[in-house]
Amino acid sequence: MNPEDYVVLEKEHMSGGMARRPAVIVRGEGARITDASGKEYLDLSGAHGWASVGHCHPEVTRAIAAQAARLVMHTENGYNDQRALWFRDLSAILEREVGSTEKGPLTRIHPCNSGAEAVEGAIKAARYFTGRPGIVAAKRAFHGRTLGALSATWKPHYREPFLPLVPEFHHVPFNDPSVLEEAVTEKTAALLLEVVQGEGGVHPATPEFLDAARRICDERGALLVFDEIQTGMGRTGKWFACGHFQARPDILLLGKALGGGIPMGAVCWRREIGTFEAGRHASTFGGGPLPCAASRAVLEVMEKEDLPGRAARLGAEALERLKKEKPPKVREVRGLGLMIGLELKVKVNPILRALMEKGVWALPAGPTVLRLLPPLVITEDELNRALDVILEVLHG
């Protein structure tokens, strides 16, 4: 088939829910993806943030193939070697990196199949463990598109056609500690926050905001949930973005990079908070042997190659260069590790198209922010070449 034939076929059947770029991507390796005509792109989108270990990392590919030949799937209604070892490995990293509080370490884990599902799990866990209905989220927040997660998501374009959403959700301005006193009440089950708002434009939280969130949740008996679906797994230069701050969550959510490309999410909460009674929450595919084997390989590669450290180093260099050579079209450069946003004075979509023509695949975050989430394995040379192209296009 010609590449155009795949485009025609997809256009015939696609739901329309996700905008597509005119390229048929068929291969990936490290930080590079290749389309059906053989054109190569530097993947500065990290495949929408899931490709921390890059595309087709040999150790992850090997783990997936080996597990696929042994046992692809068994539900959580029995025990499994891969799930047990994954629980052990992930909770050890969480305990080391996020530590323990009086509620214990983050070693109770509900495995699921996507970020949105992890948010759903957190909403249910917070309501279940507190017996309260309310969820407070932030303006500009993105937490996913299923009805519960969408209720916590801010953007009217995503929400409005689907009203009414789940009741008892409230939104407060991000990074304004003063509003939390009134917003978090005795009826609040959880305060749900991104540590760096991703889709909302790459806005890191301030320490004052997260400290106030922690204190007020403690005072009111609400749970503090950090959605680290985009910021977790080394993206910001630490294993979890909350590692840059003092404030610690009661529940931490993971997705995207967790499974190395195999769909996976996780709701991780403090041990002393409790467990669900059987039947209250579960998923057929969640915690299957295949994603658990893939994720174990991801965790191992990230430790061995120190990818969080690499993200910190490369991210700091990239930020410094972008700030120093800031083109007139750029209003502000923000970021943490390899999560970088360029606030533009122009619309981002024509810029994305121009970048694509020159072999750089980047992301938007709203109408005027160019977002860069390269795989953490990107080489220095690849990252500099991509930045050359970005600066050239933005100077044009």
Ligand X SMILES: *Cc1c(COP(=O)(O)O)cnc(C)c1O
Interface positions with ligand X (CB under 6 A): 114-116, 119, 142-144, 194, 198-199, 227, 229-230, 255-256
CA distances from 24 to 8, 34, 92, 359 (A): 11, 8, 40, 14
Q: Which is nearer to ligand X, 242 or 330 (CB)?
A: 242
Query: Which is closer to ligand X, CB of 203 or CB of 270?
Result: 203
Strand partners, 104: 101
Q: CA angle, 269 as apex, 99 and 264 as ends, to 5°?
A: 105
Of all residues in the shown chain, the one whose CB is closest to ligand X is: 115
**What is the smallest separation between the CB atom of 162 and ligand X, expressed in angstroms?**
15
Which stretch of DSSP H or E encloses residue 343? strand 339-344
Place of tokens 């490369």: 314
Cβ at position 115, least distance to ligand X in Å: 2
Q: How many degrees, rounded to 5, is the angle at CA 254 between CA 95 and CA 68?
A: 100
Token pair listed for 46 = 């990290």
Kind and range of the H or E element at 266?
A: strand 265-269
Report the residue number, 270 or 371, with the smaller CB distance to ligand X: 371
CB-based contact 375:31 (threshold 8 Å): yes
Question: Any idea how long the chain is?
Answer: 396
What's the closest the beta carbon of residue 114 comes to ligand X, in angstroms?
A: 4
Minimum Å gap between C-beta 55 and ligand X is 18
Judged by beta carbon, residue 203 or residue 220, the one nearer ligand X is: 203
Residue 254 or 330: which CB sits closer to ligand X? 254
Pick 50 or 393: Cβ nearer ligand X: 50
Joined together, the tokens standing for residue 213 give 């969130």
Token pair 């595919």 is at which residue? 285
Nearest distance from C-beta of residue 297 to ligand X, angstroms: 20
**Smallest gap, in angstroms, from Cβ of residue 45 to ligand X?**
12
